[in-house]
Amino acid sequence: MSKQRFSALSLFRRALGGHRSWEPQWRKVEPKPSYDVVIVGGGGHGLGAAYYLAAEHRVGRIAVVEKGWIGGGNTGRNTTIIRSNYLFAESAALYDHSVKLWEDLSQVLNYNVMFSQRGVMMLAHTVHDVQVFKRHVHANRCSGVDNEWLTPEEAKAFCPPLNIDPDIRYPVLGAALQRRGGTARHDAVAWGYARAASELGVDIIENCEVTGIRRDPQGRVEALETTRGLIRASKVGVSAAGNTSAVLSLAGVRLPLESYPLQALVSEPVKPVFPCVAMSNTIHAYVSQSDKGELVIGAGTDAYTSYTQRGALHINMHTLDAICELFPMFRRMRMMRNWGGIVDVTPDRSPIIAKTPVPGLYVNCGWGTGGFKATPGSAHLFAWTIAKDEPHPINAPFTIERFRDGYLIDEAAAAAVAH
Amino acid sequence: MLLIPCPHCGERPEIEFTYGGEAHLVRPADPSTLDDAAWADYLYMRTNTKGVHAERWRHARGCGRFFNALRDTTTDRFLATYRIGEPRPAIAAGGAR
């Protein structure tokens, strides 16, 4: 990490040279014939897993293969919200593990991921919302996760643009606030992990799509067929989000996943006007302001499964209706871009970080509409699972077999996007 | 927004429809004879096809009827729609609409 370590001094020194002496943040490499571990999927979760395998588990030869460019999938397509106020103890432990890793991630990676704990406020509009969110507040406090209840007036004091007029279509009856929640810079997460992993010797291979998974006569994974040739591997970890079903079907593994488009959009950039993250599950809107000044707005999933990375305009319009009613000052804002990402949704809205029935093949998937917040924790636990061939106690409940055995972790109410 | 050809009413905009998920999943005739893995497979496991996907739709704000469709999930193009009970048409990806 020494040569290009970022600090005020190194920035100053390079500035004197006109910033012409910087080198690429990660090495461009050709795939080697074999590795100890190959991670499929170069998003934050996959790159992070490679980093923790190298940094904490001292695995020798590691590669990340990515069919496009790193951070170009859901890592670059989400609304960067980070929170851990999930209902059940298993989930609270999982997501809070991640929040704790976020808190010093910039220092650990020596890369500014711009983690900002500005607070995540979830709005309640119906009696049912109020009951559910208060239950979440109490459950979170029992799990040691901060979450507090706000009256409409307190919510407005925390977020002044909020409209708490009792006569709107869905009036605000209160809010649950997690002050440790916030946002981070999505690209920096992928780039920071890629840079740190590359310096520890991890090969990051872009434009390399997996087309087959070879197994030995005992059924164990032995190699990946890719668009850049055959890559032998003793262990393969798949972290491919919406494409996980397609990748694992190459090894004959069926998963409880369906892949849906999830859309987001950003406005023109404006001066700082919005102090926190505000979300409404019931009327489906969530919004924050990026450091660049754009409003970052999350819309809903489309109705049907798809791999197209785009969705229908009426989904975005529905979200903007809600935003304009809750935050009337945004009514004349212009939207600049919208896009879709493909999210892999499980029946209980909880992820899977586990071994598969195929020896040597591991999977980290099912993050659905809320994977970004979990990036460091998910990567950390996936690396543990691959290195030790058994789950960490935190991800032990998040198996594929929970669907067979009836131990579902039903977070449909805590997952923000209504499905 | 998709234009969906309802086999009863013709092409209509997507907002008239609700989605019914993967088609041709048949409830086992006698669930009590299944083991947990087979029952979980029926309840939860999905093919999640990347390519030609057979799926159910319901024309909820039209004729109200369920029907099946073949749609390419890499392009969202509908390749065929057909009535409930009819066999899946033999159409490959890239086939005419």
pLDDT tens digit sequence for B38-50: 999 999 999 999 9
Task: Using CB atoms, pick whichever of B1, B17, B19 lies closest to residue A314.
Answer: B1
Subunit contact A254:B40, Cβ cutoff 8 A: no
Q: Tell whether B46 is covered by a domain.
A: yes
Phi, psi of A196 (to 5 degrees): -65, -40
Mutation target for B interface from A211, A238, A343, A404: give the one with most B CBs within 10 A.
A404
d(CA A80, CA A74): 10
From chain B, pick out residues whose CB is under 8 angstroms from the CB of A406: 36
**Res. B97 pLDDT band, cuts 50 70 90:** very low
Instruction: Specify the 3-state DSSP secondary structure of A287.
Output: strand
Sign of CA dihedral B11, B13, B18, B20: positive
Task: Using CB atoms, pick whichever of A256, A307, A404 lies closest to residue B37.
Answer: A404
Mutation target for A interface from B4, B44, B61, B70: give the one with most A CBs within 10 A.
B44
pLDDT at B94: 54
Buried b (16+ CB within 10 A) or exposed e, A117-142: bbbbbbbbbeeebbebbeebbebbee
Query: Half-sphere exposure of A32 toward its Cβ, with a 13 Å CA cutoff?
Result: 14
Q: What distance in Å separates residue A309's CA from the closest CA in chain B?
A: 9
Token readout for A342 is 């493909």
Q: CB under 8 Å to B76, separation ≥6 — which residues? A: A304, A306, A308, B2
What ipTM was reported for this prediction?
Answer: 0.93
Number of domains within chain B:
1
Q: Tell whether B27 is covered by a domain.
A: yes
Q: Tell whether B92 is covered by a domain.
A: no
pLDDT tens digit sequence for A152-193: 999 999 999 999 999 999 999 999 999 999 999 999 999 999
Do A284 and A323 meet the contact criterion of CB atoms below 8 Å apart?
no
**Nearest residue of chain B to residue A309 (CA atoms):** B74
Is it the case that residue A282 has pLDDT exceeding 50?
A: yes
Place of tokens 């934050």: A44
Q: Tell whether B89 is covered by a domain.
A: no
Q: Tell whether B23 is covered by a domain.
A: yes
Q: Tell whether B42 is covered by a domain.
A: yes
Residue A387 DSSP code: H
Of A39 and A5, the structure prediction assigns the larger pLDDT to A39
Place of tokens 């998003």: A43
CB contact A243 to B (< 8 Å):
yes
Is it the case that residue B92 has pLDDT exceeding 60?
A: yes
Residue A360 region, left (φ>0) first, then alpha (ψ -120 to 50), else beta?
Answer: left
Q: What is the CATH number of the domain that holds B18?
A: 3.30.2270.10
d(CA A85, CA B61): 37
Q: Tell whether B58 is covered by a domain.
A: yes
Q: Domain range for residue B71?
A: 3-83
CB contact A313 to B (< 8 Å):
yes
pLDDT tens digit sequence for A60-94: 999 999 999 999 999 999 999 999 999 999 999 99
Q: What distance in Å separates residue B43's CA from the closest CA in chain A?
A: 9
Instruction: Specify the 3-state DSSP secondary structure of A145.
Output: coil
Q: Tell whether B12 is covered by a domain.
A: yes
